[in-house]
Copies of this chain bind each other. A is one copy, B any other.
Amino acid sequence: MSSERKSQGRQKIEMKKMSNESNLQVTFSRRRRGLFKKASELSTLCDAKISLVVFSPSEKFTKINNTLDIKKKLGDELSHLRKEFEAQFCWTCSIDKMNWAQLEMFKKDLEELRNLVAQHAINLVIQDTHTQTLPFCVESVSPSNIPFQHQLIPQQGQMFPP
């Protein structure tokens, strides 16, 4: 029957980068899990499509040691997303339902979008995959003709949807 509190319970914390590294790691795992739970709930309650990728602070320079890991995870995630979309949308329709003008427009749109991505995205991917090991000036590396992908690099199954 002690009058002492066993725990002070949750304390308010300041909204800035945590200085204590081990506290930071604990908070990171807790809040990351919370974030994915929230995302999952929003998705189920409201039938929303959500994409969520979290890179841990340490992971930016240490854990991603080569592009193979990334490629593997990227491939898995893309396969998953594709299945999900296939399940959700109609995939039985045939391309011959489009007339010639539609096809042309469609092709043009795709090409334009690809070019746009190409111009902007190249540097991002290079950063993700190589910053931690190779120093270089990205601007000099085939700057405008590699259409690319960014953001789809999950880690430890932390991309949502799962």
Contact = CB atoms under 8 A, between A and B. Distances in A.
Q: Which of A102, A113, A124, A141 has the most CB of B within 10 A?
A: A113
A147 B150 contact: no
Please tell me how many copies of the chain the complex holds.
2
Q: Which secondary structure characterizes the binding site on chain A?
A: helix
Given A113-B125, A117-B149, A44 B70 contact: no
A55 to B, nearest CB: 4
Interface in A48-63: 48-57, 60
Interface in A73-98: 74-75, 78-79, 81-82, 85-86, 89-95, 97-98
A109 B121 CA distance: 16
